[in-house]
């Protein structure tokens, strides 16, 4: 009851109280030691898990090849729904939607709110229905333990906790724009999908329990993970990168099974599963693909910048940016870009073709002036961009701070296109804070209003 009260009123409680309470709850959970299926701390509601999962799945459905096979989907959804009926911490609003990815890679993943993806390769590698059920039960464990939004909550705490939480909650932006602001992103590369070993252990515990309650051999899940790691090392790279192997996985599962007591059933296989394997062997094989598709260059241009802007509150500056852009925080830089704004360049490297990038440059010379330092920066950029040249340079006043504005032209990472870059430099102590606005030359005009709006929103007040 206390727990419910705390979480439901999280938006009016002082964050400091929440954080103190979290630390206490975590230490209590460790002291008890027994698996009690209690999710980690979370600033989101289960309803928000569903909203977030739904938006992520809409993106992922466009990024991955799906298998639209009515019979197979009916079987998978039937099996999945039968299983999750036995999962702990289930919420009635969870979507429980199971999708098949038409890929020979052995992989499966779960989005918040019950959107589960199982690759065709899993059906191929599973030796019986119980092993497939084990994969589903494990993935549903990530859902009911709410690992995705737990990661998002950890990001809130990691990024300065109190301030960022207050500022995010105060903005009233959409849930996905909040996540973008935390640098988590959606889609196949989202950090929401990167589970910790602790999360894996929890998903194993829930998965084993669910299998047991549903009358399957509860060893089938861990058995499957062992088989695929041994037999298909190349086809499981993504799986074990998203699902790192917990230590003592087998011993932990065995201990749990012992505690659960005599088996409720030991179902291993079904004629439906064997029939489906046969069916998959007869239809067209999955299309060839090189691993999981990253954010590839799309034929069409990214969506234009939204009129609605959201706030980024960094340590060194604040600015506003379109709410349909993603924010990616690197160690010393912040990248802001639309869907499709990052492309794969000629040498296979990831490069930004649209959006804005903010970073810090430390000049080599001593006692530098801003114009000289900017010149030095441009020379250093030219080393990796030999086709770059300056179109125009002028002074600029950035909220009372002297700045240098440089318009550049360069080769776009999109093949056969030129790009325009607007570089703005401003002194920040011993370093130069640099803002670069990037778009293909032909599209720069339609991005210029958004770029100007971002530029006008930049606040360096804290530097003075």
| Least Cβ distance, residue 246 to Zn ion (angstroms) | 9
Minimum distance, C-beta of residue 202 to Zn ion, in the bound complex (Å)? 9
Taking the complex as a whole, the smallest distance from the CB of residue 147 to Zn ion amounts, in Å, to: 8
Shortest Cβ 30–Zn ion spacing (Å): 21
Minimum CB distance to Zn ion smaller for 54 or for 249: 249
In the complex, the smallest distance separating the C-beta of residue 386 from Zn ion, rounded to whole angstroms, is 45
Which of 151, 179, 192, 203 is the binder for Zn ion (CB under 5 A)?
Answer: 203
Sign, Cα dihedral of 399, 444, 332, 295: positive
Q: CB under 5 A: which stretch of 61-69, 168-176, 194-202, 436-444 binds Zn ion?
A: 194-202
Pick the closer one to Zn ion by CB: 110 or 130. Answer: 110
Instruction: Please state the closest distance from residue 204 (CB atom) to Zn ion, in A.
Output: 8
At CA 101, angle to CA 97 and CA 338, rounded to 5?
Answer: 85
Q: Which residues of 136-147 are buried (b: 16+ CB within 10 A; e: fewer)?
A: bbbbbbbbbbbb
Site residues for Zn ion, 347-406, by CB under 5 A, read: none
How many other C-beta atoms are found inside a 10 Å radius of the C-beta of residue 271? 8
Number of residues that bind Zn ion (CB under 5 A): 3
If the CB atoms of residues 50 and 108 are measured against Zn ion, the closer one turns out to be 108
Judged by CB, which is closer to Zn ion: 243, or 427?
A: 243
Grouping H, G, I as helix, E, B as strand and the rest as coil, residue 296 is coil
- The smaller minimum CB distance to Zn ion, of residues 201 and 434, is found at 201
Selected range binding Zn ion among 32-40, 80-88, 200-208, 263-271, rule: CB under 5 A: 200-208
- 177 or 292, CB closer to Zn ion? 292
DSSP 267: B
Q: Does 147 bind Zn ion (CB under 5 A)?
A: no
Write down the least CB distance from residue 203 to Zn ion, Å: 4
- 419: closest CA among 428, 410, 429? 410
Residue 263 CB, nearest approach to Zn ion (Å):
24
Residue 150 found at the interface with Zn ion (CB under 5 A): no
In 3-state terms, what secondary structure has residue 431?
Answer: strand
If the CB atoms of residues 134 and 302 are measured against Zn ion, the closer one turns out to be 134
CB of 240 to Zn ion, least distance (A): 9
Structure-block tokens of residue 321: 């940016």
Note the residue count of the chain. 464
b/e sequence 31-66, b meaning 16+ C-beta within 10 Å: eeeebeeeebbbbbbbebbbbbbbbbbebbeeebee
CB atoms within 10 A of CB 327: 22
Q: Report if residue 243 touches Zn ion, rule: CB under 5 A.
A: yes
**Per-residue DSSP letter, 404:** E
The answer to whether 441 and 420 are in contact (CB under 8 A) is yes
Whose tokens are 């489906």? That residue is 276
Of 48 and 200, which CB lies nearer to Zn ion in the complex structure? 200
**Stretch touching Zn ion by CB under 5 A, among 220-228, 237-245, 249-257, 444-452:** 237-245
Which residue, judged by CB position, is nearest to Zn ion in the bound state?
243
The mark string for 30-69 relative to Zn ion (x by CB under 5 A, - otherwise) is ----------------------------------------
CB of 135 to Zn ion, least distance (A): 9
Count CB-CB contacts under 10 A for residue 368: 17
The Cα 389–Cα 361 span in angstroms is: 19
3-class DSSP state for residue 435? strand
Q: What is the dihedral of CA 361, 366, 371, 372, to 10 degrees?
A: -100
Please state, in angstroms and rounded to a whole number, the distance separating the CA atoms of residues 144 and 240: 20
| Cross-strand bridge partners of residue 178 | none
Taking alpha carbons only, the member of 89, 134, 96 closest to residue 113 is: 96
In the complex, the smallest distance separating the C-beta of residue 138 from Zn ion, rounded to whole angstroms, is: 6
Stretch that binds Zn ion, among 174-182, 197-205, 210-218, 297-305 (CB under 5 A): 197-205
CA end-to-end span of the chain: 48
Q: Which residues bind Zn ion (CB under 5 A)?
A: 200, 203, 243
């Amino acid at each position: 009851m206390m727990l419910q009260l705390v979480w439901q009123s999280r938006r009016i409680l002082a964050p400091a109280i929440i954080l103190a309470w979290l630390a206490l709850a975590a230490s209590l959970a460790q002291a008890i030691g027994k698996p009690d299926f209690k999710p980690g701390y979370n600033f989101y509601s289960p309803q928000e898990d569903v909203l977030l999962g739904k938006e992520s799945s809409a993106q992922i459905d466009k990024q991955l090849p799906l298998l639209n096979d009515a019979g197979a989907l009916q079987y998978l959804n039937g099996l999945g729904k039968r299983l999750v009926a036995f999962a702990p911490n289930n919420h009635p609003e969870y979507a429980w939607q199971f999708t098949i990815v038409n890929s020979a890679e052995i992989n499966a993943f779960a989005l918040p709110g019950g959107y589960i993806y199982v690759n065709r390769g899993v059906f191929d590698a599973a030796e019986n229905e119980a092993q497939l059920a084990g994969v589903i039960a494990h993935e549903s464990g990530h859902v009911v333990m709410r690992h995705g939004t737990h990661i998002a909550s950890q990001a809130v705490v990691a990024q300065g906790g109190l301030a960022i939480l207050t500022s995010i909650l105060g903005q009233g932006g959409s849930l996905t724009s909040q996540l973008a602001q935390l640098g988590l992103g959606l889609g196949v590369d989202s950090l929401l999908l990167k589970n910790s070993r602790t999360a894996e252990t929890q998903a194993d515990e829930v998965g084993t329990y669910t299998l047991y309650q549903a009358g399957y051999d509860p060893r089938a899940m861990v058995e499957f993970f062992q088989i695929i790691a041994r037999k298909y090392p190349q086809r499981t790279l993504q799986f074990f990168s998203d699902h790192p192997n917990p230590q003592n996985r087998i011993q932990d599962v065995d201990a749990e099974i012992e505690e659960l007591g005599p088996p409720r059933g030991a179902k291993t296989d079904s004629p439906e599963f064997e029939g489906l394997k046969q069916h998959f062997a007869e239809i067209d094989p999955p299309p060839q693909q090189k691993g999981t598709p990253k954010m590839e260059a799309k034929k069409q241009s990214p969506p234009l910048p939204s009129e609605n802007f959201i706030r980024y509150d960094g340590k060194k500056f604040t600015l506003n940016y379109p709410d349909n852009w993603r924010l990616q925080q690197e160690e010393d830089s912040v990248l802001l870009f639309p869907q499709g704004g990052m492309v794969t360049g000629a040498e296979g490297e990831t490069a930004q073709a649209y959006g804005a990038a903010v970073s810090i440059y430390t000049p080599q010379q001593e006692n530098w002036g801003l114009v000289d330092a900017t010149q030095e920066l441009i020379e250093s950029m030219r080393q990796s961009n030999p086709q770059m040249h300056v179109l125009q340079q002028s002074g600029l006043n950035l909220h009372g701070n002297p700045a240098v504005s440089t318009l550049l032209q360069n080769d776009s990472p999109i093949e056969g296109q030129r790009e325009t870059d607007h570089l703005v430099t401003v002194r920040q102590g011993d370093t130069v804070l640099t803002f670069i606005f990037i778009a293909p030359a032909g599209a720069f005009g339609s991005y210029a209003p958004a770029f100007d709006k971002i530029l006008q929103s930049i606040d360096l007040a804290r530097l003075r």
